[in-house]
Amino acid sequence: MNKKIITLALALALPLTAAAFSGDNGGFEGYHANRVDRLTKNLDLTAEQKTKVDAIFKEQEGKFKAIHEETRTRLQEVLTKEQMTKFDELKKQRHEKWQNKHVTVTDQKAPETTK
């Protein structure tokens, strides 16, 4: 039963962990900025469109953070302290794996050519 709860909690919480880690370019904010820049370039967005797309992503980030916090609060009501500690460690490992994969993918991109 506990394994099912933890598995369900991980499935619900892990996609949101990126929102919990902000700061350096390896975190969600850097990813967000890069995404807006990529969309601006690939879709040839106008300045107005870029501003609106950026606002949409920032709004969604706030919603993700709220959901993440609610999920954590609810998990604390269900899991023991030991289980929460283990859950936090699993989440940390998952985030590190995501960061390593993200950095590897970013490093392997072909250099841009100038027009």
Ordered DSSP codes for the chain: -HHHHHHHHHHHHGGGHHHH--SSTTSHHHHHHHHHHHHHHHHT--HHHHHHHHHHHHHHHHHHHHHHHHHHHHHHHHS-HHHHHHHHHHHHHHHHHHHHHHHHHHHTSPPPPP-
Alpha-carbon span 39 to 16, nearest angstrom: 22
Read off φ and ψ for residue 94, nearest 5 degrees.
-65, -40
Alpha-carbon span 88 to 47, nearest angstrom: 40
Span 7-57, pLDDT tens digits: 655 555 555 554 444 444 445 566 667 889 999 999 999 999 999 999 999
Is the confidence at residue 5, as pLDDT, over 70?
Answer: no
Q: Which of 8, 22, 15, 38 is nearest to 109 (CA)?
A: 38
Question: 86 pLDDT band (50/70/90 cuts)?
Answer: very high
Residue type, 97: K
Alpha-carbon span 95 to 78, nearest angstrom: 23
Is the confidence at residue 91, as pLDDT, over 70?
Answer: yes
